[in-house]
Amino acid sequence: MDTDRRRMTSEQAWVLGLASLASFMMALDSLVVSTALTTIRRDLTASLEELEWTVNAYNLTFAVLLLTGAALGDRFGRRRVFVAGLAVFTVASVACALSPGIGALIAARALQGAGAAMVLPLSLTLISAAFPPQQRGKAMGLYLGLTGLATFSGPFIGGVIAEGLAWQWIFWLNLPVGLATIALTARRVDESVGPNNRLDLVGVVLVTSGAFGIVWGLVRGNVARWMSAEVVGALVLGLALVIAFVLWERRTEAPMLPMRFFRKRAFATANPANFLVFASLYGTMFFLAQYFQTVLGEGPLVAGLMLMPWTATLMVCAPIAGRLVDKYGERTFVVGGLLLQAIGMGWIAVIADTDTGYLELLPALVVGSVGLTMAMPAAQKAVVGSVEPREIGQASGAFMMLRIFGGVFGIAVTVAVFAAAGGYSSAEEFSDGFAAGMGVVSAFAFTGVLVALGMPAGRPAPRASAVAAG
């Protein structure tokens, strides 16, 4: 009987598989786009600002609508909203492929982000609700490992497409995957709702407007100048609206994000630590493939192959880390993982130059990637494990929102440092900017270490269900 309770049921397997397939599609899209950035820049004569927008337009709508997507799932049905988000993402991918210019591509990427905001928080919610606490770390490790198939293959696929076909095909790939996931989810996943039976419309307006102001200020800072009226005004207004959102959520009867979550030590520390995990990850991802092409002189295909050892660790190590987190607790893996990322990226910041060979960079890349792979499932488990099962949707929305805020923040700051220290005019200039950017990425990770030290220590306390299953 104990073995049966530990074994994954067919219903759990379908939820895990389909949530992972949706995440696979979006992770593949992000990695493929990163590898193809240089080709897109040349083909569409895009500036650095426009190139940054092809990434940040997606992140902008994603971050702004994440809590709303989670709230809609809790109110109208998680499966229904999950499927609707997949449909939006798939249609937007077709629009990306058909874009005649950089402006149309940026607009379609923004629509992709809106679809993703309905899918990704609910994928985490569906998994967390389907698995009991004693199985949740393993399930999240498998989720990240299956997503890692996209992470592993994305750079290579992007290189093959950008060099052998055309960059538009990176978006056509989403059409068959999206249609298959929609059809299977409608048949194999049961409908569920969250604890609130009505939508917090005031909260939706406040958090959406506040998130938009903050993200807009971050993505415009490098072009409009950080001290300009536009950027300062957007950031101040965004922060004011977020504060208003917090005050409203403390008094409303049916909050979309209960503020009492932040009184839980695990929730209050794992979320900012994860923010810094993704600031470090996205800052690295934005420039790494460009470095291989601009400084080392490789084409998109070879650059994609060079990224594969860095991305392979997610597929290999995430399931292992997820199982070990169940046994040893989250703090060790978040702290240790971020420390490895800080060491790896700091190593690259020191040695990166026009004379640096790929094999000299490889050990540092693997060290950093192993670190990120350790930290991600542990942070996820800490957040969703700190709330009641019926509140997982709300916690997942906050977790995903801060994760994307971290990505936008990481790209914005890394691009600013890159532009101050280097540029695109020569390999030497790019190398200078890249080394400076990797130094900032390392600093993000080390700051995350300091934050994660505040997480609860040791093994998770045994619950009655966990004891019974043991």
Convert the pLDDT of each residue in 411-441 to its tens digit.
888 988 898 888 888 888 999 999 999 999 9
Structure tokens at 292: 């291989």
In the 8-state DSSP scheme, what is residue 9?
A: P
Asked if 86 and 119 count as a contact pair (C-beta separation under 8 A), the reply is: yes
Who contacts 269 (Cβ-Cβ below 8 Å, separation ≥6)? 382, 451, 452, 454, 455
**What pLDDT shows up at residue 459?**
52
**What pLDDT shows up at residue 155?**
61
Place of tokens 């392979």: 312
Q: What are phi and psi of 315, to 5 degrees?
A: -70, -40
Asked if 421 and 433 count as a contact pair (C-beta separation under 8 A), the reply is: yes
**What pLDDT shows up at residue 469?**
31
Whole-number Cα distances in Å, 293 to 241, 389, 419: 42, 46, 18
Along the chain (470 residues), what's the average pLDDT of each consecutive run of 10 residues? 59 88 78 71 75 78 79 85 95 91 90 90 81 75 68 63 70 88 90 71 84 82 85 94 92 84 90 91 83 83 77 72 78 92 93 88 90 85 81 77 82 86 86 92 94 76 34
**What pLDDT shows up at residue 330?**
86
Who contacts 189 (Cβ-Cβ below 8 Å, separation ≥6)? 14, 15, 18, 79, 82, 126
Q: How far apart (Å, rounded) are the C-alpha atoms in residues 173 and 36?
A: 14
Helix (H) or strand (E) holding 463: none
Q: How far apart (Å, rounded) are the C-alpha atoms in residues 259 and 136?
A: 24
Place of tokens 């934005």: 286
Positive or negative, the Cα torsion across 169, 171, 174, 179? negative
**What pLDDT shows up at residue 1?**
37
Helix (H) or strand (E) holding 168: none
**What pLDDT shows up at residue 30?**
66
Reduced to 3 states (helix: H, G, I; strand: E, B; else coil), residue 284 is helix
**What pLDDT shows up at residue 470?**
27
Q: What are phi and psi of 206, to 5 degrees?
A: -65, -50
Structure tokens at 230: 């536009």
**What pLDDT shows up at residue 463?**
40
Whole-number Cα distances in Å, 147 to 54, 174, 187, 270, 320: 22, 14, 22, 21, 14
**What pLDDT shows up at residue 442?**
94
Q: How far apart (Å, rounded) are the C-alpha atoms in residues 176 and 142?
A: 23
